[in-house]
Copies of this chain bind each other. A is one copy, B any other.
Amino acid sequence: LGIDAGVTTLHSSYDDLVADDSLDIVYVATPSLRHVEDSLRCLEAGRAVLCEKSMAPSAAEAERVLQCARRQQLFFCHGVWSRFFPAMADIRRVIDSGAIGEVRSVHCSFCQADGAGACSATLETGVYCAQFCLWAFGGAAPRVAGVTYALHPESQLDTHVSALLQFPCGGVGTIECSLGHASPREATICGTKGVLRVPYPFWCPTEFSVQTMSGPASQQWSEPQTYRTALPEIGGDFNFVNSQGLAYEASEITRCLRSGLLEAPAFDSEACLRVMQVITDIRAHWLPPTPVVS
């Protein structure tokens, strides 16, 4: 188990693992509905944590984990790896340059057809859409203006969710996640002068393009200007597209730990909680509020 991958130490239980003082950080990558419990266990044992998305099923549960990290003065990061891709910084530079004018709407979908009933679409793929929309609009908290959802008939987990978000600047986001059907899994940022497109897979992007649109009925389009970044050259087999890009997250988390930071600037607890609040507001359409054990 793990020996082939260069693992030097194996622990026979989670309790043994978190008691290991030689660890710099624990990467919590258990099934997502265990993340709160496992993150708290690590933090309470004195371990810094990088927790896979979604770190919690709600903003209140996320807040519990973040408070524990603050109390313990330990580094914690919600591992939304998108935030660490160089393309995201490139997109930000293009937006800030005014190339597409003022950002007015963002649309993204992340639907896949092979997981319905086993987990929650909002927690599995919706969190990527929500974080992208919030990020594109600079992070301000939106209002959820509408939600449609479908629940799995047996597990009652959400299989398909679409939501309409309205941002304080007046801009609009539409997001769609599903574990029961396909979608292009692209993101589009629409501005007053043109459009920026992030093709599949938008949540771990290596490419995007910009087109300006002008003239009567916006019918004059510029040639698309395409921006590309190469992935880190890492060999081996991966289960998911662009997994090599996890190296960006790992590298930045290492830098944060070495610098003594308690949060990663690219996705700090404030940004994380805003995303979790949107997810919570969306899920409130079918879930009763959960009492938080503190």
Measuring CB to CB, which residues of chain A are less than 8 angstroms from any residue of chain B?
Answer: 100-102, 104-105, 107, 109, 111-115, 145-148, 150, 160, 162-164, 166, 170, 172, 174, 176, 178, 180-184, 188, 190-195, 197, 212-219, 239-241
Residues of B near A105 (CB, < 8 A) are 109, 111, 160, 162, 176, 178, 181, 183
B197 and A191 form a contact (CB under 8 A): no
A112 and chain B: residue at smallest CB distance: B218
Contact B182 A195 (CB under 8 A): yes
Additional A-B contacts beyond A100-B182, A105-B176 (19; CB < 8 A): A101-B113, A101-B181, A107-B107, A112-B218, A112-B219, A146-B164, A148-B166, A150-B170, A162-B172, A164-B174, A178-B190, A181-B190, A182-B192, A182-B193, A182-B213, A184-B197, A216-B239, A217-B241, A219-B240
Contact at A147–B146, with CB atoms within 8 Å?
yes
* 10 pairs of A and B residues whose beta carbons are closest in the complex: A146-B146, A112-B218, A104-B181, A182-B213, A146-B164, A148-B166, A145-B146, A164-B164, A183-B190, A181-B192
A114-B216, A114-B218, A239-B216 given; A188·B180 CB < 8 A = no
Q: Name the residue of chain B whose CB is nearest to the CB of A218.
A: B112
Of the candidates A100, A105, A150, A197, the one having the most CB atoms from chain B within 10 angstroms of its own CB is A105
Q: Once bound together, how far apart are the Cα atoms of A35 and B100, in whole Å?
A: 35
Chain B residues with CB under 8 A of A114: 215-218
The answer to whether B191 touches A181 (Cβ under 8 A) is: yes
Q: In the complex, which residues of chain B have a beta carbon less than 8 angstroms from the beta carbon of A241?
A: 217, 219
Q: Is the CB of B195 within 8 A of A191?
A: no
B residues in contact with A147, CB < 8 Å: 145-146, 164
Bound-complex Cα distance A217 to B128 (A):
14
Instruction: Kindly identify which residue among B176, B192, B212, B214 contacts A174, using a CB–CB cutoff of 8 Å.
Output: B176
State how many angstroms separate the Cβ of A287 from the closest Cβ of chain B.
17
Q: Give the CA-CA distance A102 to B178 in the complex, in Å.
A: 14
Question: In the bound complex, what is the Cα–Cα distance between A190 and B178 (angstroms)?
Answer: 11
Question: What are 10 sample pairs from A and B whose C-beta atoms fall under 8 A apart?
Answer: A105-B178, A105-B181, A107-B109, A115-B217, A163-B164, A164-B174, A174-B174, A182-B193, A182-B195, A217-B241
CA distance A194 to B104 in the complex (A): 29
Q: Which residues of B contact A111 (CB under 8 A)?
A: 105, 190, 218
